[in-house]
């Protein structure tokens, strides 16, 4: 429970203070979602994608709406993924 609370607080902090603005566009029969950031991503930088409950349960995510992801400590219905940009 402690790890879940810690990750949830961190997720809310990241969403509120460090989010990159942009636009999501669904295509291909709502099977493909493209995110276009408002500004260029920095090179050689770690980023995290937080897919919130609203998007997971919007009907666009197929049968992924029941998934949680990030070591089991992210609340059910949310998903977090990490990537690093090239230099």
CB 83 within 8 A of CB 47: yes
Does some domain include residue 51? yes
Whether residue 31 is contained in a domain is answered as: no
Q: What is the domain range of residue 4?
A: 1-16+45-87
pLDDT of residue 38: 94
Examine residue 1 and state whether it is found in any structural domain, yes or no: yes
Provide the CA 4 distance to its chain's centre, in angstroms: 16
The predicted pLDDT at position 21 comes to 85
The verdict on residue 60 lying in a domain is yes
For 25-54, what is each residue's pLDDT tens digit? 888 787 788 889 999 999 999 888 877 777
Pick the closest to residue 35 from 47, 20, 22, 48 (CA basis).
Answer: 22
- CA distances from residue 80 to 7, 29, 50, 52 in whole angstroms, order as listed: 11, 23, 5, 9
Domain count for the chain:
1
Q: Could you tell me the two tokens for 49? A: 């994608």
In a domain, 7, yes or no: yes
pTM of the model: 0.58
pLDDT at 63: 47
- Is residue 75 situated within a structural domain? yes
Give the chain's mean pLDDT: 74
Query: Which tokens sit at 4?
Result: 């879940």
H helices within 1-87, ranges in order? Answer: 2-17, 53-56
Asked, for residue 35, whether it belongs to a domain, the answer is: no
In a domain, 30, yes or no: no
Q: Which residue has the higher pLDDT, 31 or 57?
A: 31
Residue 76: band (very low, low, confident or very high) from pLDDT cuts 50, 70, 90: low
């Amino acid at each position: 429970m402690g790890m879940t609370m810690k990750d949830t607080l961190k997720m809310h902090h990241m969403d509120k203070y460090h989010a990159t603005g942009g636009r999501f566009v669904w295509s291909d029969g709502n099977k493909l979602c493209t995110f276009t950031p408002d500004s260029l991503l920095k090179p050689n930088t770690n980023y995290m994608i937080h897919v919130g409950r609203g998007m997971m349960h919007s009907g666009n995510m197929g049968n992924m709406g029941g998934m949680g992801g990030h070591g089991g400590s992210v609340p059910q219905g949310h998903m977090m993924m990490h990537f690093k940009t090239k230099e």
